[in-house]
Amino acid sequence: MAARAHHLLLRLALLCACACAAALGSANAAGRKMVGVYELKAGDFSVSVTNWGATITSVVLPDSKGNLADVVLGYDTIGGYVSGKSYFGALVGRVANRIAYARFVLDGKAYHLFKNDGNNTLHGGHRGFSQVIWTVKEFVAGGDSPYITLYYHSFDGEQGFPGDLDVYVTYELASPYELRVHMNATAANKATPVNLAQHTYWNLGGEGSGDVLHNTVQLFASRYTPVDSALIPTGVVAPVAGTPYDFLAPTPVGARIRQVSGGKAGIYGYDTNYAVDGDDAGAGAALRKVAVVRDGKSGRAMELWANQPGVQFYTGNFLQDVEGKGGKVYGQYGALCLETQGFPDAVNHPSFPSQIVSPGQVYKHDMVFKFSF
């Protein structure tokens, strides 16, 4: 009881927190729950999170001259995240990315999911983990390691997926200028696919400051998974050498972007899963260096480390006149995403690393963002 009272006091003490009532329309909802915004702060480094979709709503840090800026795209109100279609900052699942024809077979049984991307399922369906209210389990706003832990219970049959699943994510700040993300999920009673991804859109020059085509990106991945016209993997894992997908050396985002189809006629850009170099990945695996992004104008840089086999590199190809924070309008290539993950459509490709979690097993996904300037 004392811990619960302490948690409530912390929530009341957060001056920047906003709250609104929102109905949780799933079968396991009872009445209405509150949605809030929670700030983690360490000196001039701060991250704000809402329990709507376990979403990162802002990341504020200095540039090389000490000027502060928010470097992630988003909205001014919770309503923007509820109605938005871009997954700004959200934790997506139960299975991130695409599942072909919204179906898969597991233990001899066919499962049919919600189609929300043409004939396919994207990011868990039309009401995946990014579109539900998470429970705030712990929240420490300041100190040496500010953090927030959020919890969601996904029920058997939600969006068509089998089995009950208990999901946790912790966002934690560490010195100097590190954001750590710890995700885990336990399957309760049935085997089920699990592939969580953190879907923040990064613009190290500051959100709304223009496109990221001048940013340099280095991906520690010598292979990628080619896709068809619907952005579904073909099953091949191909070398990046000699292709426009090669970012083994630091390369401007825009250097070869016009050579890459974005999945629709007239749309160009990366929406590509890379196989991160290294032997081991997944629960219990050591963190591996995944990517480095640099913005020359601001001097900001971001390293990403994680323990997953893949990373989705997305260049905001479908952003078009999206009204964001402070009335700013986000356009095409206005940010980039680096979503560590299992391979897309792995449930339909036995040769890909498995995403199946058996009853009692725990899925673990760790990420570290290291910022410098």
pLDDT tens sequence across 269-283: 999 999 999 976 665
Q: Once rounded to an integer, what is the mean pLDDT over residues 302-315?
A: 98
* Of 195, 218, 203, residue with least CA distance to 308: 195
For tokens 């070398």, the residue is: 239
**What is residue 363's three-state secondary structure?**
strand
Pairwise CA distance, residues 18 & 301, whole Å: 30
77-121 confidence digits (pLDDT tens): 999 999 999 999 999 999 999 999 999 999 999 999 999 999 999
Going by CATH, does the domain composed of 37-372 fall within 2.70.98.10? yes
Is residue 98 annotated as involved in ligand binding? yes
Q: Tell me: cis bond preceding 94? Omega within 30 of 0 counts.
A: yes
* Residue 41 to residue 223: CA distance in whole angstroms: 38
Q: Which amino acid is at 17?
A: A
- Residue 325 has φ and ψ, to the nearest 5°, of -65, 140
First and final C-alpha spacing in the chain: 43
Q: Is 234 a known ligand-binding residue?
A: no
**Angstrom distance (rounded) from CA 270 to CA 120:** 19
Q: Is 97 annotated as a binding residue?
A: yes
In this structure, are residues 309 and 355 in contact, taking their beta carbons and an 8 Å threshold?
A: no
pLDDT > 60? residue 32: no
Percent pLDDT > 90 in the chain is: 87
Helix (H) or strand (E) holding 136: strand 135-140
Query: Residue 216: which pLDDT band, with cuts at 50, 70 and 90?
Result: very high
What does pLDDT average to over the chain? 91
Q: What pLDDT does residue 310 have?
A: 98
Residue 305, pLDDT > 50, answer yes
**Rounded Cα–Cα distance for residues 275 and 370 (Å):** 21
Whether residue 295 is annotated as binding a ligand: the answer is no
Q: State how far Cα 183 lies from the chain centre.
A: 11
199 is catalytic: yes
pLDDT at 36: 97
Q: Which strand (E) or helix (H) includes residue 79? A: helix 78-83
**Taking residues 291-317, what's their average pLDDT?**
98
Question: Which position among 158, 172, 339, 365 bears the catalytic label?
Answer: 339
Q: Return the number of other C-beta atoms located less than 10 Å from residue 191's C-beta.
A: 15
121 is annotated as contributing to ligand binding? no
Given the residues 123, 158, 172, 199, the one annotated as active site:
199
User: Structural domain boundaries of the chain?
Assistant: 37-372
**pTM for this predicted structure:** 0.91
User: In which order are the strands placed within the sheet that holds 68-70?
Assistant: 19-23, 32-42, 45-50, 55-62, 68-70
Preceding amide of 146 cis, omega within 30: no
Contact 265, 255 (CB under 8 A): no
- For residue 218, the number of C-alpha atoms closer than 13 Å in the C-beta half-sphere is 13
Taking the CA atoms of 296, 298, 299 and 301 in sequence, report the sign of the dihedral they define. negative
5 pLDDT tier (thresholds 50, 70, 90): very low
- Please tell me the predicted confidence (pLDDT) of residue 266: 86
> For residue 28, what pLDDT band results from cuts at 50, 70 and 90?
very low
Residue pair 303/329 in contact (Cβ under 8 Å)? The answer is no
